Structure 1
Amino acid sequence: MAPIRLEDTKESAGCLSSIFSSCSRPQQTQEFNEKFMYSAIEPMEQLPAYQDITKGMKKLDLKVDNEIEHVIDNAINQISAELRTISVDLHENMETGMKEVHAHAVLTDFLEKNGFKVTRHAYGMKTAFTAEYSRGHGRRVGVCAEYDGLPGLGQGCGHNLIAISGLATAMGIKAALESGKASGKVVLFGTPAEELSIGKIVLVEKRAFQDNVDVCLMLHPAAYDHQYAALIAINDVHVEFFGKPSHASAAPWEGVNALDALVQVWNGISMMRQQLLPTDRVHGIVTDGGQAPNIIPAHTSAFFFIRTTKANQAGRLQKKLEACFEAAALATGCEVKYTWREIGITKDVVQNQVMADTYAAHMEKYGISFPPEDVQMRAGGGSTDMGNVSYEMPCIHPMYGIHTTASNHTIEFTAAAKTMPAHKDTIQASKCLAATGVEVLLNEAYYNSVQKNFKDNLVAADV
């Protein structure tokens, strides 16, 4: 992965919380001062030169022609007004992860009405679903939809738009199948609780993707257009310290201060950062700092995130953090308990270059331009459970601009996600994603190239 630009980095919880407003469309051609670039690995480790990709795509002999594009576009145009209604509904009636009961009903009703075979409450999750349509034999294309929001912020990551992009993309691929120009299957996965990094990880564990589709696609709104979204690995840990209470003034020597241990952890992590890779991230909050200032705290707790560019690097950072916990307990005489995320690590997204550039080529027909690969990779910092899917099969997770300069997970982005320009941007990007999915159905040589790139990426990631 390429270098990151340290002065723009922002830390906060959530799926894509470190996406920078500096990457908005008006600033795509911004030049970066190499004096402030740092990298733990070679900048172009994964991505070949753009010219090489372009030459490779010409050799693929793409099969999605103007006639098929018209079929896709027409099908999505016909439902655009209804999708707008759904989007506004999900925006105004936001639900948090695993509580998306209304969204589940609205989305599955739409899909069932439009001829999909729908499975509600799929794979043991109340608000998950699948919807499939097939014609004949052939390859199987998966599409992901997300629809949860953020407490206190609403649809600050635009999941109302991701929901309708999933519907639109699936409907576009379905139209190509119905036209007789393609054969195979499209499966839309309704994936709850992305902000908690739960839905897709559970689906991966239950082989929902692996047993049912050959590739998987999804879109995400942002302040910019990137076909290579740099989305990194994340894990989290809860830590608790147990001491002994005492009167903080009359007999402090009789207490064992659990808050001292937490302060030691904070200082240890701050000093540890000097020895971390520039691409590593550790950030957290205090969840219990004691009950009263005149009582030696007997219990304290904190919640930390760690992030690394690749999932296989997380173990190194976990050990360092655990050492900080153990050292603080030893130094203060407290007992310590720490628990890493039960569901496991949220992996980085391995973008499939062949499909990503196919999507970009379709978007360029609408006048959308994309920055060079290394510039895109410098803008990374967010995380998503789509990464776990991308380690199992070829995936893409492009970012598309919605006419805002606001970062994801802000009040301003929440407002932008409800606008008509954002809706039009979503419809446009969905047409391009659907065309990319249809290419997989139509073109065996193309699919073989997709699979080769997937395998090469896993080798590079040492999986």
Structure 2
Amino acid sequence: MQSLRKAALAFLASATLFPSSANGQELADQVFAAIDAKNDGLRTINTEIWENPEIGYQEVHAHKVLTDYLEEQGFNVTRSAYNLTTAFRAEFSNGPGRAVSFNSEFDALPGLGHACGHNLIATVGVAAAIGVKEALENGNVKGSVVLLGTPAEEGGGGKVKMLEAGAYDGLDCSLMAHPGNSNYAAWGRTLASWRGNVSWTGVAAHAAAAPWAGQNALDGFVAAYQMAGLFRQQLQPSDRIHHVVTKGWPRRDVVLSQVESILYASGNGTNTTVEISAFQDYWDQNPSFQLASTFYEHQMKYLNPADDPETANFTVSSPEESRRDGGASASSDQGNVSWFLPAIQVGFPVGGTAPVHNAGFRELAGTDFAHESAIQTAKILALTGLEVLQNETYAETMWEEWKAMIEEVSIAV
């Protein structure tokens, strides 16, 4: 905790937003104008993805729409990057310097379409990259901007595979945004998640003539289901256990050894064989407090929701408020990224109260309000990324804070 506080104090003492307020306003004006100039095309992309939902690793149409557009905008585009058919990397550089990255997700939910608003996440990433590219082209800043197209966030772990393939090597930060049904948030955690398949194997027998000769695999599942239910009373308030009969045991937010004990005990108690095959781990997200603070400061300075009648009903949670609340209720593969380099995943509203992964949220994700909310968020993300590129002291304290945080949470685990 002491090292984390020192890093935070160093940030507050030495990191400035922009070299001067005039330069800051001028750069913000350039970034905002560049994104606004592309808004019609961005709306087309957003709608095209929303109207043509594709599940994880099958986002062929979205991949083409996004990569074609990015290439038209002058980015160096690598399609089917990192041995993933629907992943991509789009990059623009004006020479040596730091590299800021954004993520675009674009997979949909089976049977629900874009009920998690990944069409909006894709739009934010593209728009933010365009904003940073404008500053690089004008020579105001040196370095690179990278947009990573990250498929299959909904359980497929696209970012995990891309991380393992080196997609985030050499980058200085990873910035993205996620839509929600409430207010703006600059700082937010996600839960760790373990996903796997569990099978129980018994011995077949005639259920009426000789049931004593069989070993019922269903009994193994039922025993595990009941034992998990009993185990819930010992869980932390933030922990979750979910299970689906047709899929096995798809998500975990508790210590894996405890889960395995339950599963193997269910097999022992029913004389059935249990096989566990883990296929996906989502780590908890540890957002950079410094990046979140910069995002919040820029939003309040340049695009405060209270200044616009369309968004006046929405509040902006400061990083201090969000960290104090400490709540987390979902999982994301951006969590894995946050253990590798400084990262944030900010939140923005879609204009309604329907929860994510709900048909009502799908409809909200396709509205003009949701699109404009995404565009405004992209502008502030772009300014946050530019801070990393142009301010060496800021970048150094960002990394110091992140290293101290990762060391602290690693010890806690």
Alignment of 1:239-278 (within 5 A): 239-278=198-237
Equivalents in 2 of 1:188, 1:325: separation in Å? 41
Specify whether residues 452 and 193 from structure 1 end up closer, same or farther in structure 2 by C-alpha distance, changes over 3 A only. same
Give the structure 1 partner of residue 258 of structure 2.
320
The answer to whether the 8 A contact 1:197-1:384 is kept is no
* Deviation of the 1:58 alpha carbon: 6.6
Aligned letter for 1:320? Q
Is 1:361 the counterpart of 2:297? The answer is: yes
- State the TM-score, normalized to the length of structure 1: 0.81
Please list the CA deviations of residues 264-294 of structure 1 after superposition, one character each: whole Å capped at 9, or x if unmatched: 111111112222233222111112xxxxxxx
Specify whether residues 127 and 66 from structure 1 end up closer, same or farther in structure 2 by C-alpha distance, changes over 3 A only. same
241-250 or 224-233: bigger deviation: 241-250
Equivalents in 2 of 1:389, 1:336: separation in Å? 32
Give the structure 2 partner of residue 61 of structure 1.
16
Equivalents in 1 of 2:394, 2:406: separation in Å? 19
Give the structure 2 partner of residue 423 of structure 1.
371
Give the structure 2 partner of residue 351 of structure 1.
287
* Deviation of the 1:331 alpha carbon: 1.4
Count of aligned pairs between the two proteins: 394
Specify whether residues 374 and 360 from structure 1 end up closer, same or farther in structure 2 by C-alpha distance, changes over 3 A only. closer
The answer to whether the 8 A contact 2:14-2:394 is kept is no
182-191 or 276-285: bigger deviation: 276-285
The answer to whether the 8 A contact 2:112-2:357 is kept is yes
Give the structure 2 partner of residue 192 of structure 1.
151
Is 1:304 the counterpart of 2:242? The answer is: no
Aligned letter for 2:70? L
Equivalents in 2 of 1:284, 1:230: separation in Å? 23
Equivalents in 2 of 1:123, 1:235: separation in Å? 23
Equivalents in 1 of 2:197, 2:85: separation in Å? 26
1:245 counterpart SS class: coil
Pick aligned residue for 1:434 from 361, 364, 382: 382
Is 1:143 the counterpart of 2:102? The answer is: yes
Structure 1, gaps ≥5 residues long: 1-43, 288-300, 309-316
* Deviation of the 1:400 alpha carbon: 1.1
Specify whether residues 55 and 440 from structure 1 end up closer, same or farther in structure 2 by C-alpha distance, changes over 3 A only. closer
The answer to whether the 8 A contact 2:8-2:401 is kept is no
Equivalents in 1 of 2:271, 2:187: separation in Å? 48
Give the structure 2 partner of residue 216 of structure 1.
174
* Deviation of the 1:217 alpha carbon: 0.8
Is 1:385 the counterpart of 2:333? The answer is: yes
The answer to whether the 8 A contact 2:101-2:146 is kept is yes
Q: Which runs of 4+ in 1 moved over 6 A?
A: 44-48, 52-55
Aligned letter for 1:422? A
Alignment of 1:118-157 (within 5 A): 118-157=77-116
Equivalents in 2 of 1:277, 1:449: separation in Å? 33
* Deviation of the 1:59 alpha carbon: 4.1
Aligned letter for 1:338? I
* Deviation of the 1:47 alpha carbon: 8.9
Give the structure 2 partner of residue 370 of structure 1.
316
Is 1:452 the counterpart of 2:400? The answer is: yes
* Deviation of the 1:363 alpha carbon: 1.5
Specify whether residues 136 and 55 from structure 1 end up closer, same or farther in structure 2 by C-alpha distance, changes over 3 A only. closer
Identity of aligned residues (%): 38
Is 1:338 the counterpart of 2:276? The answer is: yes
* Deviation of the 1:246 alpha carbon: 2.2
2:400 counterpart SS class: helix
The answer to whether the 8 A contact 2:102-2:147 is kept is yes
* Deviation of the 1:251 alpha carbon: 2.2
Is 1:158 the counterpart of 2:158? The answer is: no
1:240 counterpart SS class: strand
Equivalents in 2 of 1:181, 1:111: separation in Å? 22
* Deviation of the 1:337 alpha carbon: 1.1
Aligned letter for 2:67? T
The answer to whether the 8 A contact 2:14-2:393 is kept is no
1:239 counterpart SS class: strand
Give the structure 2 partner of residue 35 of structure 1.
none
Please list the CA deviations of residues 437-456 of structure 1 after superposition, one character each: whole Å capped at 9, or x if unmatched: 01111101111111111111
Aligned letter for 1:237? G
Specify whether residues 46 and 431 from structure 1 end up closer, same or farther in structure 2 by C-alpha distance, changes over 3 A only. farther
Equivalents in 2 of 1:436, 1:161: separation in Å? 19
Specify whether residues 408 and 120 from structure 1 end up closer, same or farther in structure 2 by C-alpha distance, changes over 3 A only. same
User: Which structure has greater helix proportion?
Assistant: 2
Give the structure 1 partner of residue 69 of structure 2.
110
Structure 2, gaps ≥5 residues long: 306-314
Give the structure 2 partner of residue 6 of structure 1.
none
186-195 or 322-331: bigger deviation: 322-331
Aligned letter for 1:303? W
Equivalents in 1 of 2:116, 2:137: separation in Å? 33
* Deviation of the 1:46 alpha carbon: 11
Aligned letter for 2:317? P
Aligned letter for 2:373? D
Give the structure 2 partner of residue 20 of structure 1.
none
Give the structure 2 partner of residue 3 of structure 1.
none
Pick aligned residue for 1:232 from 175, 187, 191: 191
The answer to whether the 8 A contact 1:84-1:423 is kept is yes
1:235 counterpart SS class: strand
Specify whether residues 318 and 331 from structure 1 end up closer, same or farther in structure 2 by C-alpha distance, changes over 3 A only. same
Aligned letter for 2:200? F
Please list the CA deviations of residues 169-191 of structure 1 after superposition, one character each: whole Å capped at 9, or x if unmatched: 00000000111110100011011
CA RMSD of aligned residues (A): 2.2
* Deviation of the 1:375 alpha carbon: 4.9
1:133 counterpart SS class: strand
* Deviation of the 1:54 alpha carbon: 9.8
1:398 counterpart SS class: strand
Specify whether residues 53 and 429 from structure 1 end up closer, same or farther in structure 2 by C-alpha distance, changes over 3 A only. farther
The answer to whether the 8 A contact 1:197-1:346 is kept is no
Please list the CA deviations of residues 23-52 of structure 1 after superposition, one character each: whole Å capped at 9, or x if unmatched: xxxxxxxxxxxxxxxxxxxxx99997xxx9
1:219 counterpart SS class: strand
Equivalents in 2 of 1:153, 1:229: separation in Å? 25
Aligned letter for 2:103? C
